[in-house]
Structure 1
Amino acid sequence: MYKEINQQLAALKEKGRIYEKWTKRLEKLQTEESEWEAKVKRRLEHLQKEQKDVDRLNSMTLSAFFYQLIGKKTERLEKEELELMESKAAYDTACRMLQDVQEQRIHVEQELEGGRQYQYWQSDYNALWGKKEGRLLDQDAELQHMAENREHLASELQELDEAFREGEYLLYALERAEKALASAGNWGVYDMMGGGVISTHIKRGRMDDAQVAIMDAGKRLRRFQKELEDVEMAVHADLHLGGLLSFADYFFDNLFVDWMVQDKIRKAERQVKDGLSAVRKTIHVLRNEMRDHKAELEILDRKYHAYVEQAD
């Protein structure tokens, strides 16, 4: 039934594989060509320098005359000529390598030009594959079932991802609150030991920072709870909501009033730490659920595509 489409898909896939092979080879050769061009340039500069050294000794310059007087001109010239020969050999090698890479690059460009019609093979393949998929979905119950499972898994993964992101936002707000409360508590101890007006002012500033962070955490927690409710309905996972909800009820419904009392600052700090622990546990579960869903979805995707591709 799908013999002709299957042949077209196979041909497109093979031609596309070859085109991509030449494309990758061209990219590699272009990089090598640039590297060898740089080497040729460096070795030419070195060769020119060595040639100047030999020319200078062959001419009647002051240095050449000096070496001749002390009887070492021949020895010095032989050394410079040997270095010149070595430099010339290195330069010639680089030129030959560059030429070879350029010839390979020209050959690959010709191959690519010959298969230019397959430049966008993936789009053609996807369109033909989609045409076959549509026909199969109208007739094949097994493929329909796989499609429904893929859609369901993708939807659950999205719910998990949304909850995870809200959990990260909440974690950040609670960490800010924890840091501000710890600082306020430390300044409170200093204040009780006679720190004076400045320590009292700093402590109150840290309390204000904590209050802003806590209020932000309260908003984030309500959003997180809504996302978790969606996830629990979709995934049926144990998300450790008990500890999280008890923290919310206890802390956000009973915000302490007397922020100047040291033991209440420490009490609030402990409550935030409890909240952080509950949120981290929940995020850990979400992360594991996301990992499992992604793995399952990848397996199902491969199975689904193979089923469509191999259907006769």
Structure 2
Amino acid sequence: MEEQLSRLMEAKKDLHTLERLEREHGQLENELQEAREKEGRFARKLEEEKEDVEKLERVSLSHLFVVLTGQKLERMEKEKQEVVEAGVKWREAEKSRKEIEREIKSVEERMQRLSGARTHYRSLYEERKKALVSDGGDRGERLLELSGQRSQIQAERTEIEEAIQAGEDAHKALETASGYLTKAENWGMVDMFGGGLLSTAVKHSKMDEAEEAVHTAQQHLRKFANEMADIGEFTHADLRISEGWTIADYFLDGLIVDLFVQDKIQKSHEEVRKIRKQTHDSLVDLESLQRDYEGKESELKEEQDSLIKSS
């Protein structure tokens, strides 16, 4: 009997996984549409200015300013500001679009491997239901109910674990970005006091590295936000996260033209610190939720084992 219940639980977990992947696929399709729209909007702006987008794709953030303006970063002409902003945002949107496409492909491959999960579970459920109820009456009904509840909790625990991993990845990337921004601030202070070409070059290098780390963090935060939203659907927990965090948009929007000005570096750093703390707080909530679910499953397993032994 225990082996039969185990097979039924495994089939139910596969079904839960398929349903979660279907939700994730729908969300990713929406995000892909948004990324394509953003990419097209900024690409059209660059085309109006006769800029070579393929060339811009290959250069660093600091070099991008020089390519688009022909001037030093700190002396950018006012009329070039919108072009610079469009160039940086186009590149960010293009990166996001490509990454979302890769995620969609991965999700579709996983969905394909589980394509028979619904049919398999329904067939196995009807088979086990007849056998358990026939052999055990009310006890069999309760065992069937417990197996379903345990499968549900196990699937949800898997989602929580994946959300924790996404949050930890985002937190790590934010720490990396914070480190680069600290160095950029320090070299910026040297630059302000006449540090010369070397200090300027080092500051710009650190900003390039911070931009890449922020992009990486944004991808993890997007996945983290989606995982948390999905978890909120079935737990009804008050998890501390904002839907669709957009640290990259903050980093690139508005202050993009003045990014290499000292006080703007500091403002970017403050935002990174704030979202890093928010990510940490959400991880604390998730870890607490994970412990709750472990306790619930343990209770269900204990009752299930007791019923099996009494048969």
What TM-score comes out, normalization by structure 2 length? 0.54
Give distance in 2, aligned partners of 1:232 and 1:278. Answer: 17
Pairwise CA distance, 1:299:
2.1
Match of 2:145 in 1: 145
Match of 1:96 in 2: none
Match of 1:262 in 2: 262
Give distance in 2, aligned partners of 1:222 and 1:303. Answer: 39
Pairwise CA distance, 1:249:
6.5
1:252–1:236 distance in 2 versus 1, CA, 3 Å? farther
What is the letter of the counterpart of residue 266 of structure 1?
A: Q
Pairwise CA distance, 1:245:
3.9
Pairwise CA distance, 1:205:
0.9
Match of 1:225 in 2: 225
1:179–1:134 distance in 2 versus 1, CA, 3 Å? farther
1:136–1:296 distance in 2 versus 1, CA, 3 Å? same
Match of 2:283 in 1: 283
Does structure 1 conserve the Cα–Cα contact (< 8 Å) formed by 2:129 and 2:144? no
Match of 2:235 in 1: 235
What is the letter of the counterpart of residue 219 of structure 1?
A: Q
Give distance in 2, aligned partners of 1:134 and 1:190. Answer: 78
Percent identity of equivalent pairs: 32
1:172–1:307 distance in 2 versus 1, CA, 3 Å? same
1:239–1:253 distance in 2 versus 1, CA, 3 Å? farther
1:209–1:246 distance in 2 versus 1, CA, 3 Å? closer
**Structure 1: gaps of 5 or more residues:** 6-131
Give distance in 2, aligned partners of 1:306 and 1:133. Answer: 19
Pairwise CA distance, 1:258:
2.5
CA deviations over 1:23-67 (Å, ceiling 9, x no partner)? xxxxxxxxxxxxxxxxxxxxxxxxxxxxxxxxxxxxxxxxxxxxx
Does structure 1 conserve the Cα–Cα contact (< 8 Å) formed by 2:218 and 2:245? no
Pairwise CA distance, 1:192:
0.5
CA deviations over 1:200-251 (Å, ceiling 9, x no partner)? 1111111111000011111111111111111111211111124984867645
Match of 2:274 in 1: 274
Give distance in 1, aligned partners of 2:153 and 2:206. Answer: 45
1:249–1:284 distance in 2 versus 1, CA, 3 Å? farther
1:172–1:190 distance in 2 versus 1, CA, 3 Å? same
Give distance in 1, aligned partners of 2:303 and 2:129. Answer: 13
Give distance in 2, aligned partners of 1:310 and 1:279. Answer: 47
Give distance in 2, aligned partners of 1:266 and 1:306. Answer: 60
Match of 1:205 in 2: 205
CA deviations over 1:123-180 (Å, ceiling 9, x no partner)? xxxxxxxxx9994366421112211211111111111111111001110111111110
Match of 2:186 in 1: 186
Pairwise CA distance, 1:181:
0.4
Give distance in 2, aligned partners of 1:235 and 1:208. Answer: 40
1:284–1:253 distance in 2 versus 1, CA, 3 Å? farther
Give distance in 1, aligned partners of 2:243 and 2:192. Answer: 34
- How does 1:95-134 map onto structure 2 within 5 Å? none
Match of 2:132 in 1: 136
> Bigger shift: 232-241 or 277-286?
232-241
Give distance in 2, aligned partners of 1:284 and 1:306. Answer: 34
Give distance in 1, aligned partners of 2:226 and 2:255. Answer: 22
What TM-score comes out, normalization by structure 1 length? 0.53
Give distance in 2, aligned partners of 1:237 and 1:205. Answer: 42
Pairwise CA distance, 1:183:
0.7
Match of 2:156 in 1: 156
Give distance in 2, aligned partners of 1:213 and 1:246. Answer: 14
Match of 2:168 in 1: 168
**Structure 2: gaps of 5 or more residues:** 3-127
1:270–1:254 distance in 2 versus 1, CA, 3 Å? same
What is the letter of the counterpart of residue 225 of structure 1?
A: A
Structure 1 residue ranges, 4+ long, deviating more than 2 angstroms after superposition: 132-139, 242-259
* Count of residue pairs brought into register by the alignment: 182
What is the letter of the counterpart of residue 232 of structure 2?
A: E
The 3-state SS of whatever aligns with 1:241 is coil
What is the letter of the counterpart of residue 227 of structure 1?
A: E
Give distance in 1, aligned partners of 2:203 and 2:185. Answer: 8
What is the letter of the counterpart of residue 305 of structure 1?
A: D
Of structures 1 and 2, the larger Rg is shown by 1
